[in-house]
Amino acid sequence: LALYLIDESLMLRRTVKAVLVDLSGTLHIENVALPGAIEGIKRLQELPVRLLYVTNTSKESKQSLLSRLNHIGFEVNADEVFTSLSAARKIIEMRRLRPLLLLETKALEDFDGICLDNPNAVVVGLAPQSFCYETLNHAFRLLMNGCELIAVNKARYYRRPDGLALGAGPFVEALEYASGRKADVIGKPERSFFQSALDRLGVSAEETVMIGDDVRDDVLAAMNLGMTGILVKTGKYRNGDEELLPAGCHCHLSETFAAAVEYLESSLEFRQN
């Protein structure tokens, strides 16, 4: 027997072994869990599928993020979270880079032990405290002298309690434009990021569901790799975002993460291979 996702409206019939879940905007906004999200996670954990949280969050370390999630009511283990900061560190170590880190202080913990002397790379995450003229100009000069540009992600915007806010992407684009250098992007929506997540779980894209609030970086990127996409209408979701999907590319649309889990519960069936 295998677990199948059956959705006649989307003409879906595929084996499901894993679910990837976005964090900020999908399960919580800063220190507040979204309605029904905690219970939704508990129900998802009861399903016979593997679960991995995949996040572009770059303004705090993985340990800080874990503390935040557990404090607001989610029971999350370190090995269940895959962050773009972790992926960025791996790239830095593989290439033996000495980065200038444009990151918030709370994120620097993830780069303990990395040599920062005489930088040969600029790493940009979401760092509101660092996005001032002098700091960006320093990064620009390093790039003009041949340093690599690495973007932890290129998110356009995200949701804060007081409304939408600029992500790291616009600042990465500014450095790209000024220096003429193309950034090496690490996090979502990059195929390599998603593939690393799938490799951790030992599953294929076709056996995996992605749930997120970003139609481009979560849902479309995952679907382009072969996953099933579920877009939730929370966080950064804007009315009509689903219309940004290419013609013939359909995802399931849920009001909330809890509703997405209900959809999975009602659509998953054990069937003979």
> What pLDDT digit, counting tens, does each position of 24-71 carry?
999 999 999 999 999 999 999 999 999 999 999 999 999 999 999 999
In the chain, DSSP assigns E strands to 2-7, 12-15, 18-21, 28-29, 32-33, 50-55, 81-83, 99-102, 121-124, 148-151, 157-160, 163-166, 184-185, 208-212, 228-232, 252-254, 268-271
Residue 141 CA to residue 152 CA, distance in Å, equals: 20
Cβ-based neighbours of 62, under 8 Å, separated by 6 or more: 78, 81, 83, 85, 86, 110
pLDDT < 70: residue spans in the chain: 1-2, 8-12, 270-273
The tokens describing 236, both together, are 């950064």
What does the DSSP assignment read for 113-126?
A: T---SS-SEEEE--
* Coil, helix or strand at residue 9: helix
Tell me, what's the pLDDT at 8?
Answer: 67
Q: Which amino acid is at 192?
A: S
HSE, CB side, 13 Å, CA atoms: give it for residue 267. 23
Tell me, what's the pLDDT at 247?
Answer: 80
Strand 32-33 and strand 12-15: the pairing is: unpaired
Contact 78, 96 (CB under 8 A): no
Tell me, what's the pLDDT at 271?
Answer: 65
How many other CB atoms are found less than 10 A from the CB of residue 15? 15
Residue 200 CA to residue 86 CA, distance in Å, equals: 13
* Coil, helix or strand at residue 15: strand
How many other CB atoms are found less than 10 A from the CB of residue 197? 22
Tell me, what's the pLDDT at 46?
Answer: 93
Tell me, what's the pLDDT at 147?
Answer: 98
Cβ-based neighbours of 30, under 8 Å, separated by 6 or more: 24, 68, 160, 161
Residue 188 CA to residue 192 CA, distance in Å, equals: 9
